[in-house]
């Protein structure tokens, strides 16, 4: 069967089980999952969806119905869009009458899920930028004067590595202006424009000068918005309502010119005098709060890091890891380093690969071994943990314990030696260890040792614990 035929068949079954195209509000995907926003989320039968060939598992999180596919998810996602014949638009809602759909009661849990969904949807598309910028910063650190000194600080190549890496983080508000506008269903160009206003050189000079400044006579708090995250998210969210109001009430002849102008005219003081400073305050609070755990010192900080290493993949299964990743993104873009959550996350990623390795060595049956080795390579090289999580850890139970032991051990070592992560590398493969580049050579060595401990301990623990239930030699 040709690949295209396989994806079409899988797509047909998936759409059928989720209630058809008419039940789909929007669909998008991350690295491994199809993410549906459904009108009626009670329609899909999880057990039936899991039986579809090519589906690794199902999760309900952040208000979404998530179908775990693995690394082929972009192909399946495109097949879903093709099957919609234009009725489905990735990342945006299809035509619906909100008045005809029952509105769910706003509870704390629902509000939290909505916020999580919007933040995750805004950050996920920026991952390629973060990865690329992080690797350039890593090259500047490794090849620069503080380490190998291959490229002295005065060399053109070192300067290129530096400004390319810095650009990915400094201009983050512009990138988020686009992606968050997409999440809030408003003008993407105005979202980017709002981010650019916050980074304009003239505004930077005003802030640097430190003298009082007003916007339409309203006092402006002097805040540097370079590399920030929360201010632009709040601003685009508010802008979505203002833009919608003008777009709805403005005469058609004036809409093209006046709607964007009036929207920005209102958003300038709202952003620079209210939302920007508020977002900066919230962002600083989150950063300082998390970093304070790492600065606590003593046994409790070390144990906290180790616990994150142990439970990180549990958070991945529920989608709750996005909360910590969002905070980590904020920490790196504003503070430049993290000595708490990242340590546990990196160890957990290596432990997941170690668990797959232990399964590959222990499991019986040619097909099962091939799958386990595939999951190991997918994790260690491709940076995707979900196939191993759903194909091995969830399926056989005991490997999950082995993975948690490995994550705990690797993160515990990182905490004991007071590791510091200097670069945000939002992938779960071996490149995650490059997060420790930027400080001393000892920091890098200890970081690699931490990852090695997590991988080896998880592999050994998984091998010794074996599998739960029936003999896996005959498992299909």
Same domain, 305 and 328: yes
Structure-block tokens of residue 140: 């500047």
Structural domain includes residue 259: yes
Token pair 């180790």: residue: 306
- Name the region of 107 (left: φ>0; alpha: ψ -120 to 50; beta: rest): beta
Q: Give yes or no: 352 in active site.
A: no
Domain span at 203:
171-291
Structural domain includes residue 164: no
Structural domain includes residue 228: yes
Same domain, 330 and 469: yes
Question: Count of residues for the chain?
Answer: 476
pLDDT at 195: 95
Instruction: Work out the number of other CB atoms within 10 angstroms of the CB of residue 348.
Output: 31
Mean of all residue pLDDT scores within the chain: 83
Residue-wise pLDDT for 13-42, tens only, equals 999 999 988 888 888 887 778 888 888 888
Structure-block tokens of residue 441: 């050579």
Of the candidates 135, 119, 203, the one whose C-alpha atom is nearest the C-alpha of residue 169 is 135
d(C-alpha 330, C-alpha 127), whole Å: 13
Same domain, 302 and 280: no
Structural domain includes residue 140: no
In this prediction, residue 424 has a pLDDT band, given cuts at 50, 70 and 90, of confident
- pLDDT of 449 strictly over 60: yes
Same domain, 314 and 459: yes
Q: How many domains are there within the chain?
A: 3
Indicate which residue of 30, 273, 287, 359 is catalytic.
Answer: 30
Same domain, 304 and 275: no
The residue with greater pLDDT, 352 or 324, is 352
Residue-wise pLDDT for 286-306, tens only, equals 656 655 665 666 788 888 889
- Choose one of 48, 74, 93: the last residue of a domain: 93
- pLDDT of 98 strictly over 60: no
Q: What percent of the chain lies above the pLDDT cut of 70? A: 85
Structural domain includes residue 284: yes
Same domain, 376 and 261: no
Structural domain includes residue 279: yes
Residue-wise pLDDT for 144-176, tens only, equals 887 778 889 899 999 999 899 889 888 989 999
Mean pLDDT calculated for residue range 53-75? 83
Residue-wise pLDDT for 335-370, tens only, equals 778 888 889 999 999 999 999 999 999 988 888 888
Most confident of 111-125, 128-142, 179-193, 272-286: 179-193
Same domain, 314 and 371: yes
Of the candidates 315, 319, 298, 305, the one whose C-alpha atom is nearest the C-alpha of residue 352 is 315
DSSP per position, 174-217 = HHHHHHHHHHTTS-HHHHHHHHHHHH-HHHHHHHHHT---EETT
Same domain, 254 and 317: no
d(C-alpha 9, C-alpha 426), whole Å: 32
- Choose one of 93, 114, 136: the last residue of a domain: 93
Q: Are 147 and 141 in contact (CB under 8 A)?
A: yes
Most confident of 1-5, 193-197, 345-349, 365-369: 193-197
- Choose one of 93, 128, 155: the last residue of a domain: 93
The CATH number of the domain holding residue 24 is 3.30.1360.60
pLDDT at 224: 87
Structural domain includes residue 206: yes
In this prediction, residue 318 has a pLDDT band, given cuts at 50, 70 and 90, of low
């Amino acid at each position: 069967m040709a690949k295209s035929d396989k994806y079409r068949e899988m797509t047909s079954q998936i759409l059928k089980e989720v209630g058809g195209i008419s039940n789909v509000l929007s669909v998008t995907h991350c690295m491994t999952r199809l993410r549906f926003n459904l009108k009626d989320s009670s329609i899909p039968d999880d057990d039936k969806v899991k039986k579809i060939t090519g589906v690794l598992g199902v999760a309900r999180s952040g208000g979404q119905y998530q179908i775990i596919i693995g690394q082929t998810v972009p192909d399946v996602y495109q097949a879903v869009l093709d099957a919609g014949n234009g009725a489905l638009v990735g990342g945006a809602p299809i035509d619906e009458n909100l008045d005809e759909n029952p509105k769910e009661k706003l509870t704390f849990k629902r509000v939290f899920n909505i916020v999580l969904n919007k933040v995750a949807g805004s950050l996920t598309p920026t991952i390629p930028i973060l990865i690329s910028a992080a690797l350039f910063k890593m090259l500047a650190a490794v090849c620069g004067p503080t380490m190998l000194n291959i490229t002295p600080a005065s060399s053109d190549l070192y300067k290129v590595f530096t400004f390319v890496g810095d650009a990915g983080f400094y201009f983050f508000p512009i990138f988020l202006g686009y992606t968050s506008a997409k999440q809030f269903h408003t003008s993407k160009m105005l979202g980017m424009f709002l981010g650019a206003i916050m980074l304009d050189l003239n505004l930077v000079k005003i802030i640097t000068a430190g003298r009082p400044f007003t916007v339409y006579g309203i006092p402006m708090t002097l805040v540097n918005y370079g590399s920030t995250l929360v201010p632009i998210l709040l601003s685009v969210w508010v802008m979505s309502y203002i833009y919608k109001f003008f777009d709805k009430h403005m005469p058609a002849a004036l809409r093209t010119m006046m709607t964007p102008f009036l929207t920005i005219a209102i958003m300038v003081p709202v952003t620079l005098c209210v939302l920007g400073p508020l977002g900066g305050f919230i962002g600083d609070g989150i950063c300082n709060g998390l970093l304070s755990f790492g600065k606590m010192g003593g046994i409790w900080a070390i144990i906290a890091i180790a616990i994150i290493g142990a439970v990180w993949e549990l958070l991945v299964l529920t989608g709750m890891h996005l909360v910590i990743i969002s905070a980590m993104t904020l920490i790196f873009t504003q503070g430049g380093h993290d000595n708490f959550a990242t340590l546990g996350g990196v160890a957990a990623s290596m432990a997941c690969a170690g668990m797959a390795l232990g399964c590959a060595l222990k499991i019986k049956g040619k097909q099962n071994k091939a799958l386990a080795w595939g999951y190991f390579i997918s994790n260690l090289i491709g940076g995707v943990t979900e196939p191993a999580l759903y194909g091995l850890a969830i399926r056989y139970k005991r490997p999950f314990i082995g993975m948690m032991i490995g994550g705990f051990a690797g993160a515990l070592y990182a905490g004991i030696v007071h590791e510091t992560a200097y670069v945000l590398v939002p992938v779960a493969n071996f490149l995650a260890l490059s997060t420790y580049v930027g400080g001393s050579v000892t920091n890098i060595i200890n970081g690699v040792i931490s990852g090695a401990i997590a991988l080896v301990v998880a592999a050994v623990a998984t091998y010794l614990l074996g599998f739960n239930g029936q003999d896996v030699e005959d498992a299909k």
